[in-house]
Structure 1
Amino acid sequence: MPKGAKELLKKLEYDFENIEYLDIALTHSSFVNEHISKTNNVSNERFEFLGDAVLDLIIGEYFFRSDESLREGKLSKLRSEVVNEQSLAKVSNELKLGSFIKFGKGELKSGGNQRESILADALEALIGAIYLDSDLETITKIVLKLFENILKEAESKKNFTDYKSRLQENLQQYNKNVVEYVLDKEEGPDNNKLFYSSVKVDGEVVGCGSGKTKKKSEQIAAKRALLKLGEKNV
């Protein structure tokens, strides 16, 4: 069993049937490169590949089932709010995964056990290892618990409608992709400005909007463009 593995397994609330999977998940390629003569050493890169796919499926299904009105673009955006290097590294740090990974001396000396990309990859490898050792239902429960706070944060953003992205999706079916947002004017003092923007499609103004920020005025302009194009549920 890898050094300190009992502490990690306690945090995960999981016991491996095949402990070798855990050992592989916690083996960085730098360790293998420094112990090349030992043929039984395998890095976690293949497990990382599998874990990435499993994580995408679990988080994607979570949002898919959470709200049937969510469109493909919004589902992708929500999933990316959760499945990204920063979020994975955060969960990895909560598990103190960096202290369990086997590194080569050079990588460890350069701070590899604290590098976000390595920590994120190791977490994906660990997810792949648990999936191989158990089943989808088991790893789903573990993942949803590990990412509980990050999922809640993403959920809080779910009600925000990104009209600009929605307009872009709408226009793609008409093969119209040249979308331009123009700040027409701004009024008022610096502490209480009002911005006016318009959105053009292939050079033609299709919507105008105003708001307390430039981004807000662009979102309103995109919303009005969608209404003009006959989009429902805007």
Structure 2
Amino acid sequence: MAKKEAGISEDELTKRIKRAKLVNQDEVKEAETVARIRTLTEQEETMIKKVDKALNALRSLLQDCPDDFFSQNHGIKKKTEIDRRIHLAMSLKNLYNEGGLAWLDVDYSAKREKDIVSDKNFSLLPLSKLAQGVTNIVASSTAWPPPRPAINSQAITRRVFRHKSLANENSQRSKTKDSGSYERFEFIGDSVVNSTLSFLLYFAFPQASEGELSELRSTFVSNQNLASWAALYGFGMELQVTDSVAKTTDVMSNTKVFADLFEAYIGGLTEEGRSEDAQSWIMALALPGIVRQKRLSKRELPLDKLAKVKLYEALGGIEQNKVEYVTERPAVTGGQGEDRLFTVCAMVHGKVLGRGNALNLRDAGARAAMDALSRPLMVAEARKEGYSTL
């Protein structure tokens, strides 16, 4: 029992006791919260140390792992099955060389990135999501083209597809906000398209220089490419123009207009607060082009004229593992781009180990062998299959 002080009523004493108890309870809660935070901080620090240790170990492994391990060791372990952990290491090295482990090159000790740009209507995808999207590029089996994310607002949708000619005509009749054209949406959409593709290319091509990345981006953001994406979804059928403009101009087939429509649609999604949906859509549309560019970048590696010999040795140098170089696609006389190139497959036991493209069959065959050598697991399996028939 609390001792009653002189001159203090029973009610006042009761109130003081209650206040003291409340203060004590708050202090206890605060102490418990501090203890929980300290425990979580200690757990975070422990996890961070373990993650750093694992990342450094993996980086060290990839650095020490030679690209041509199997050919280097031919003759030392001719028939002995190589440890599966070596196969795993080589698979990781191959995946890293193809850009599939781009997250390994990220400096995680730096201040953590939140959204690159963020407010209630506009937020770029976090770097981690972009990096994950790139990591899954080669293995992606998602149907293409991806579904178009619908804009929920009818007012925004109308404006996205309204040409300035119709907007000007409407503005003479009405002063409402909904009478504008798609040009304002195009402005912000252009920014989102450029930013998203810049980050995507940055992670997809970790070895590319600034100039090479700029050149790649210009291909993806070109009017021709954006117009082709718009055409996939029939944007031209939804474009609203005045009859006079439709009859007297090429607006309904103009590449620049279609590209602007695509950017306006991205802007419409952003206006609706769905910029992440817009970016995911852009990434999905760009995936085939990314894969194609990665294959082209492989072809630009210095030609190894001894690649066929190295592949023969990696397969054990036996008749049972003879490599057949089959022309998959001949070059087109007077063709442009990839049509100018021969495509050759390196096949063993009826299975394709690698493909190569070049201006002549000899170099295409060498590049097919180089491609096969970059897949050590497949080479090892083919080698084993040949030896099993001896």
- Whole-angstrom CA distance in 2 between matches of 1:154 and 1:21: 35
Q: Which position in structure 1 is the counterpart of 2:184?
A: 46
Which of 297, 308, 329 aligns to 1:158? It is 297
Q: Match of 1:86, as an amino acid? A: Q
Q: CA RMSD in A?
A: 2.5
| CA-CA distance at 1:14 after TM superposition | 2.9
The 8 Å contact of residues 149 and 277 in structure 2, kept in 1 or not, is answered as: no
Identify which of structures 1 and 2 has the higher relative contact order when contacts are C-alpha pairs closer than 8 Å and 6+ apart: 1
Task: State whether structure 2 residue 158 is matched by structure 1 residue 23.
Answer: yes
1:35 lines up with 2:170 in the alignment: yes
For residue 56 of structure 1, what is the aligned residue in structure 2?
A: 194
Structure 1 gaps of 5+ residues are: 1-9, 163-211, 213-234
SS at match of 2:171: coil
- Paired letter, 1:14: A
Counterpart secondary structure, 2:297: coil
1:1-234 → structure 2 map (5 Å cutoff): 11-16=147-152, 18-37=153-172, 38-40=174-176, 41-109=179-247, 110-159=249-298
Q: Is the 8 A contact 1:87 1:150 kept in 2?
A: no
Whole-angstrom CA distance in 2 between matches of 1:23 and 1:151:
32
- What is the alpha-carbon distance in structure 2 between the residues aligned to residue 141 and residue 91 of structure 1? 14
Q: Is there any run of 5+ residues in structure 2 with no aligned partner, and where?
A: 1-145, 302-358, 360-390
The AA in structure 1 aligned to 2:236 is G
Change in 2 beyond 3 A, CA 1:51/1:158: farther
- Relative to structure 1, the CA distance from residue 43 to residue 73 in structure 2 (aligned partners, 3 Å threshold; closer, same or farther) is same
- Decide whether the 8 Å contact of 1:81 with 1:154 is kept in 2: no
Which structure has the larger Rg? 2
How far the C-alpha of 1:23 sits from its partner, in A, is 1.6
Q: CA deviation at 1:159?
A: 3.8
Contact 1:82 1:151 in 2 (8 A): no
> Any idea what the Cα deviations from partners look like across 1:71-92, whole Å, max 9, x if unmatched?
1111111111111010011111
Q: Is the 8 A contact 1:33 1:104 kept in 2?
A: no
Shift of 1:15: 4.3
SS of the residue 2:240 aligns to:
coil
Amino acid at match of 1:12: R
Identical-residue share of aligned pairs (%)? 22
**Cα distance change on mapping 1:133 and 1:154 into 2, 3 Å:** farther
Report the 3-state secondary structure (helix = DSSP H, G, I; strand = E; otherwise coil) of the residue aligned with 1:158: helix
Q: Is the 8 A contact 2:269 2:275 kept in 1?
A: no
Taking a change above 3 Å as real, the CA distance of residues 138 and 11 of structure 1, as seen in their structure-2 partners, is closer
Amino acid at match of 1:90: S
The CA deviation at 1:51 is 0.7
Shift in CA distance, 23/154, structure 1 to aligned 2, threshold 3 Å: farther
- Shift of residue 157 of structure 1? 2.9
Check whether the contact 2:246–2:252 (CA below 8 A) recurs between aligned residues.
yes
1:45–1:125 CA contact under 8 A, matched in 2: yes
2:204·2:290 contact (CA, 8 Å) conserved in 1? no
Quick check: 1:92–1:120 contact (8 Å CA) kept in 2? yes
> By how many angstroms is 1:64 displaced?
0.7
Distance 1:120 1:56, change over 3 A: same
Aligned positions, number: 155
